[in-house]
Amino acid sequence: MRLGRIVEVEAYAGEADEASHARMGRTGRNAPMFGPPGHAYVYLVYGMYDCLNVVCEPPGTAAAVLVRAVEPLAGVERMRAARLAHLEARRRDRAAERRGADAAQLARLPAARLASGPGLVCAAFSVTRSADDGRDLCAGDGSLRLLAAADEAPPARIVATPRIGIGYAGEPWRGLAWRFLDADSPAVSGSRPRQPGRG
């Protein structure tokens, strides 16, 4: 079993939100966003990476939260294997030595970096559009589940920043600080984990 703690998310507010896939109304792709809350909306970005969203609000209101980074807690080696499988699926035409280099690089990657980005979250947890788009993440018997960490203290420092990669959206949407991350987690996205204290 692979288990992780969500340490970075972005909020998307519905059809009025110019940064949201729901901004053009209901389409074939974004239909799960208009469905019941607690279900997954999985989409392909840049032709290469799946991204996982959790639908929020009642049916008809297309709000969602994008899961941008997960701190691995259990099943780290399965995540590493899933990351390698993802690379190999994309690079099956490349030379065999390339795959060997990928495996070696992944083996050196710290566990905290295995799911430190929205595309990497899906690669590490084997989330795909075909298998998981529209899935009920709250179903007790599902293979992909969203759990509440009821007995765990909330992060001491939660940082809010503008959302990533939405420069096409107008104000106020572009400037809203709707990306939230655990500033003390080494698993948040970005090339370097943030250092506490001085920056």
H or E stretch covering 177: none
Is the Cβ of residue 46 or residue 199 nearer to DNA in the bound state?
Answer: 46
Q: Considering the complex, what minimum distance in angstroms separates the CB of residue 197 from DNA? A: 25
Q: Considering the complex, what minimum distance in angstroms separates the CB of residue 95 from DNA? A: 13
Is the Cβ of residue 27 or residue 74 nearer to DNA in the bound state?
Answer: 27
Q: Considering the complex, what minimum distance in angstroms separates the CB of residue 153 from DNA? A: 27
Residue 51 pairs with which residues in a beta bridge?
Answer: 43
Interface positions with DNA (CB under 7 A): 10, 12, 19-22, 24, 27-30, 43-49, 51, 53, 64, 66, 90, 101-102, 105, 117-120, 163-166, 168, 189
Q: Considering the complex, what minimum distance in angstroms separates the CB of residue 20 from DNA? A: 4
> Residue 163: which of 145, 181, 175 has the closest Cα?
175
Is the Cβ of residue 191 or residue 195 nearer to DNA in the bound state?
Answer: 191
Cβ partners under 8 Å of residue 165, min gap 6? none
Is the Cβ of residue 74 or residue 91 nearer to DNA in the bound state?
Answer: 91
Is the Cβ of residue 18 or residue 73 nearer to DNA in the bound state?
Answer: 18
Task: Name the 3-class secondary structure at 129.
Answer: helix
Q: Considering the complex, what minimum distance in angstroms separates the CB of residue 129 from DNA? A: 7
What is the rounded distance in angstroms from the CA atom of residue 15 to the CA atom of residue 34? Answer: 10
List, as one string, the DSSP characters of 10-69. EEE--TT-TTSGGGG---TTTGGGGS-TTBEEEEEETTTEEEEEEEESSTT--EEEEEEE
